[in-house]
Amino acid sequence: MQITVSVNGESYVRDVEPRLLLTHFLRDELRLTGTHWGCDTSNCGACVVRLDGVPVKSCTVLAAMADGAEVTTVEGLAHGRTEADLDPVQEGFMVCHGLQCGFCTPGMMMTSRALLDRDPDPSAETIREAISGQICRCTGYENIVRSVQWAAAKEAAAREAADTESSEAMA
């Protein structure tokens, strides 16, 4: 069957088998291998992508179900190709050592980005709850929580600076 899926802002038309899972569509058809394929049983969360903005485990979604939808993968987090273009969540994981082996990282970052989009100042407990369906086998959870907090603080500072600027402009 033919599907049209927008991935990271680019539209792709592909002929796929109905049984093709979204994670394999992204990795094998589109060669977007940033999305990891982990446990295959919707337990580990390495495959989390955003489907119309909502984090989902792409090993348990058919590519056919994403027909007509907008998918964002870890490749869509950064705004460009330089370090300055990284999403604050990516920067946070870099600065706070939010990864060791890196296998869980794409899924962790996608869920964290979605969390910060709806809750810009989450508590450590809220962050832990948000990533509770994802497994870091290096057990680096402490640093993952710190990384997300770092991103939240950076974005808060940026908002504050923008507010000051706009109120100065008005004055």
Q: Give the interface with another protein as residue ranges (CB under 8 A).
A: 1, 17-19, 21, 40-43, 45, 48, 54-57, 60-62, 64-65, 67, 111, 129-130, 132-134
Please report how close the Cβ of residue 37 comes to another protein at its closest, in angstroms: 8
Residue 127 in contact with residue 95, Cβ under 8 Å?
no
Helix-then-strand count for the chain, H and E: 5, 5
Collapse the DSSP code of 51 into the 3-class scheme (helix H, G, I; strand E, B; otherwise coil) and give the result. strand
In terms of CB distance, is 45 or 106 closer to another protein? 45
Nearest approach, Cβ of residue 132 and another protein (Å):
5
CA distance 7 to 159: 28
Residue closer to another protein (CB basis): 62 or 94? 62
- Which of residues 57 and 146 has its CB atom nearest to another protein in the complex? 57
Query: What is the signed CA dihedral for 23, 118, 52, 55, rounded to 10 degrees?
Result: 20
Nearest-approach distance from CB 70 to another protein, in angstroms: 15
In whole angstroms, the minimum distance from the beta carbon of 160 to another protein comes to: 28
Contact 56, 46 (CB under 8 A): no
